[in-house]
Structure 1
Amino acid sequence: MTTEIMVGVTDDLSEKNEVFNFKEGVWPSDHVVAGASWTVKNVPSRDSLCMILRFIFGLFSKNIPEYDVWLLIGNSAWQPDTRVVRYRKLWGALKARGMVIPDSENSLEILMESNGKVKFFGATQFYEHAIEDVIKAIADERCAYIVAFPGHCGIRDVLEMGWSGDLNEDSKMLVSLQNKGALIFKKIGEFDDCEVGFLVLGNPELVRTLLN
């Protein structure tokens, strides 16, 4: 039996649409962001997300092969500034919790400090063979995005901005990414929902190029 991936597209997410509705005033008035969604119904969520992400990788290979795909993960809450926290940093702490992080020669993380506490934000490039590990990672971490860049364009700048994992709260970071020519992917639907998938945000022309 073939599982149908449902696709939705809009050239302007600030207007009422069937892809994703942001809170009013999230985007600058002169900023246009397009969006597309891929969703699957009534299939176990991790299977659905793996299938959709493989489909998206196929679109990249066909339409934008020069783009690299990265997993972005950060701490959603401030951590106590202890020796163990600083030693493990982000990737070490995630591995200690049993998360498998895709092996990559291109991986980095940064530390933020505030009022005696710390947060870590990291990015690691990954390839199609690591899709299952990436889906497991974003299942456990709400403060996560998948981002496609033209090369290594501005990864560190994005990490230093930080993010919450909430699309409405992260508009400043999303605008910065879009201005760098990036495509931003976010899981939509909870893992116990009957319909889950991915949303992509980006410049209208770039979103259309990916979908062609």
Structure 2
Amino acid sequence: MTTDTVDFTRDIYSENLVLNIRPPHDGIRPSIAGISIYSRGSEPYESSRERFISIVLDLCYAYQDYAIWLLVGTEAWQRDSRILRHQKLTGLLRKNKVDLSQFGKVEEVQISSEYGLKFFVAVNLTKENIGDAFNIVLEEKCSYVVVGREMTNIMDFLKAGWIGKLYLDSKLVLVSAENDSVILKAFDDKSNSERGVTAIGNPLLIQSLFDRFQ
């Protein structure tokens, strides 16, 4: 048996139950709302999947001229090597039988430093393959789904980078706000038997999700 819970905040930078994140250092606080919708207990996988799909579709209808992106990255620095530079993240995932190109157009950037290499990938999804991508979103910890306008510059997200933890990905959150997009993070916390999704972004869109699920 599962119990549905909805946490909502109109300002993610204030004290709330959705997300604890520090405001930007420059003092400018963009208007960003947040919502977490989840179940406690043994929720079936299909129920979680259908919830995620319905949230994404709701956002698509709100934007109308929408775009859906699956973001996948490397959380830790990888040891620099010729093979890794050739394979990149898409190649490493393909070795694990995850072929991102099946979903649509793939964009990938590589970041180098004294610590090694990091890779960030964005895949353009459609409404028809959101469900197929859900398992990747759930299993790949360094991943998000972004829903925004068709003209969203996804390269801004790739250059910002991320580690897959919203409270630490403040740069990605700001880029999303600048692009009037919504970031979605699926989670499966086995320690608390909680499975659900957190969404942050445009206050009007997040409010509409809250009105639907409360």
TM-score in same-fold range (> 0.5): yes
Q: Offset of 1:77 from its aligned partner?
A: 1.3
* SS across alignment from 1:76: coil
Residue by residue over 1:16-43, the C-alpha shift from the partner in whole angstroms, topping out at 9 and shown as x without a partner, is 334x1405xx113441321112212334
Question: AA paired with 1:10?
Answer: T
Q: Which residue of 1 aligns with 2:114?
A: 115
Shift of 1:14: 2.4
Partner of 2:186: 187
Q: Could you say if the C-alpha distance between residues 191 and 87 of structure 1 is closer, same or farther in structure 2, counting changes exceeding 3 Å?
A: farther
User: 1:50 is matched with which residue?
Assistant: 49
Q: 1:83 aligns to what? A: 82
Whole-angstrom CA distance in 1 between matches of 2:182 and 2:200: 6
C-alpha separation in 2, matches of 1:45 and 1:67: 29
* Distance (whole Å) between structure 1 residues aligned to residue 205 and residue 136 of structure 2: 27
2:124 & 2:203 partners in 1: Cα distance?
24
CA distance in 1 between counterparts of 2:146 and 2:174 reads 13
CA contact (8 A) 2:103 2:129 kept: no
The residue aligned with 1:38 is 37
State the AA in 1 paired with 2:11. D
TM-score (ref. length: structure 2): 0.84
Identity %: 28
CA distance in structure 2 between the aligned counterparts of 1:126 and 1:155, rounded to whole angstroms: 13
Q: Secondary structure in 2 aligned to 1:15?
A: coil
- Structure 2 residue identity aligned to 1:115: E
Unaligned ranges ≥5, structure 2:
none
- Deviation per CA, 1:147-187, whole angstroms, max 9, x where unpaired? 11211412112111211112121112211211111111112
Question: Which of 20, 40, 43 is 1:22 aligned to?
Answer: 20
The answer to whether the 8 Å contact 2:62/2:205 transfers is: no
* Paired residues, number: 208
Taking only aligned residues, the RMSD between alpha carbons, in angstroms, comes to 2.5
Look up the match of 2:11: 12
On the 8 A contact 1:102/1:134 being kept in 2, the answer is no
Q: Which residue of 1 aligns with 2:166?
A: 167
- Unaligned segments of structure 1, at least 5 residues: none
The C-alpha deviation readout for 1:87-109, integer Å capped at 9, x for no partner, is: 21111111111224362442200
Asked whether the equivalents of residues 183 and 201 of structure 2 are also in contact (C-alpha less than 8 Å), the reply is yes
SS at match of 1:80: coil
